[in-house]
Amino acid sequence: MEFMIEAKELTFEYPVYDENGSETGTVRAVDQMNILVQKGEFVAVLGHNGSGKSTFARHINALFLPTSGTITVDGMDTRDDTKIWDIRKDAGMVFQNPDNQIIASVVEEDVAFGPENLGFAPAKIRENVDASLKSVHMEAYREASPNKLSGGQKQRVAVAGILAMEPECIILDEPTAMLDPSGRREVMETIEYLNREKKMTIIYITHHMEEAARADRIVVMDHGHVVMSGKPRQVFTQVDRMKELGLDVPQATELAWRLRKRGIMVPQDIMTMEEMTEALCRLK
């Protein structure tokens, strides 16, 4: 079994300063975290604000380095200075706001920026830009200005820019948080295509439970620890536990939970409204 990501006792602390700029202590954002992610797996990471999920994500491509413990990406230790560029080539990161990631005035120039900085040959850059834009269905916009694109289109361009660097893994930190339902749908369809057809490893941080339900596995973090892990149905049917952690579940799952509390015994592992409709139609 091949692992894309392996964290062992991963711990990260950052200093806290008072209003005078003097250090007053430290905060432990990730606390002895252990996790394995297989190559080709689609993992959604959930947790309330401050749970450590974004800090963990930034360790995957060595934006943060462990205070203690280790994290390896495709077998490479992020603390090894000689492997930093290889790690960042293998594990590309897409942030919440695409405007912070798009730097060029033309779409294809922006997508070419990453492979250019990695020293790819001009012919290889052209090939990768074409293939990446096609993968996210943005080839028709190659000569467009990113400023003229919708939020969902901008996010797909940001994903294309990562794809052009030929990563093995993409980390997405709440990429749909600023998008409308149409934009979220566009981005999710792109992510699922990359995972299903391109066999890419996906680490997906989100607050949208319906999006997380489409992953292979869900990891729930709280105060820097992994507190739950399993397939979406296994995690989301633990409604009481999720609510204790300050998290929601998909609407259909919560409706099933509420109906069962009232004695209407629909299946507890319902995930979609289609499943709920079918379950209600079967009741006598």
With a pLDDT cut of 70, the percent of the chain lying above it is 99
* 207-243 tens-digit pLDDT: 999 999 999 999 999 999 999 999 999 999 999 999 9
Confidence (pLDDT) at 2: 85
Confidence (pLDDT) at 176: 85
Is the predicted pLDDT of residue 284 greater than 80, yes or no?
no
* 73-106 tens-digit pLDDT: 999 999 999 999 899 889 999 888 888 888 899 9
* 1-52 tens-digit pLDDT: 589 999 999 999 998 888 888 888 899 999 999 999 999 999 999 999 889 9
SS3 assignment for the chain: CCEEEEEEEEEEEEEEECCCCCEEEEEEEEEEEEEEEECCCEEEEECCCCCCHHHHHHHHCCCCCCCEEEEEECCEECCCHHHHHHHHHHEEEECCCHHHCCCCCCHHHHHHHHHHHCCCCHHHHHHHHHHHHHHCCCHHHCCCCHHHCCHHHHHHHHHHHHHCCCCCEEEEECCCCCCCHHHHHHHHHHHHHHHHHCCCEEEEECCCHHHHCCCCEEEEEECCEEEEEECHHHHHCCHHHHHHCCCCCCHHHHHHHHHHHCCCCCCCCCCCHHHHHHHHHHCC
- Which CATH superfamily, name and number, covers 41-66+73-231? P-loop containing nucleotide triphosphate hydrolases (3.40.50.300)
Confidence (pLDDT) at 123: 94
Confidence (pLDDT) at 99: 87
* 168-189 tens-digit pLDDT: 999 999 888 878 888 888 888 9
Could you tell me the residue ranges of all domains in the chain? 41-66+73-231
Confidence (pLDDT) at 1: 57
Confidence (pLDDT) at 21: 82
Is the predicted pLDDT of residue 245 greater than 90, yes or no?
yes
Question: Average pLDDT in the 99-119 region?
Answer: 90
Is the predicted pLDDT of residue 164 greater than 70, yes or no?
yes
